[in-house]
Structure 1
Amino acid sequence: MEVCIDNLLKISRGEVPYERLKGVSFSQMDGPVTTAGQDIVEDAEWMLNVYEPRAKVESIDLIPIDAQNGQFEIKANISTRGGS
């Protein structure tokens, strides 16, 4: 399950043919820094709830790698739902 979540968080929305909603939308990256990060985190949480129902998202962190160039890493803290 961890590999699936890691892969989902590395996909940009629109990248997967026939599943255009799969992935994280980074379109907010051009917005104000005060709201862009929170929008990306909320979008990633929604996407994980839809495409990885086995996981319960505890929190999602947006970690800047090279913030000036728009490079971030998304880390999800998860637990297993329903004992699967």
Structure 2
Amino acid sequence: MDLENLRNTEYLKCADLLAELIGLDVDAKEKIYKCFESMGIQSFFQQLESLDLSPETTDKLKNVKAIIELSGGKRGLR
């Protein structure tokens, strides 16, 4: 498996986990996956406000980002 396919597989896993964790519908999950593909996960979380997601989904994702930052230390999304 080449690097791009591996990366996209991991992006899909992450989108699936987020969808399950915060109760996203299929459309929101697909939007998130496409954002991961185009900008990467770190940029996705940095640009949450500008993405075309519902306010409720954006708030939930901000909470996920905060948890990652608190638990990640140097590995966080800063």
TM-score range, shorter chain: 0.3 to 0.5
TM-score by length of 2: 0.38
Structure of larger gyration radius? 1
Higher fraction of strand: 1
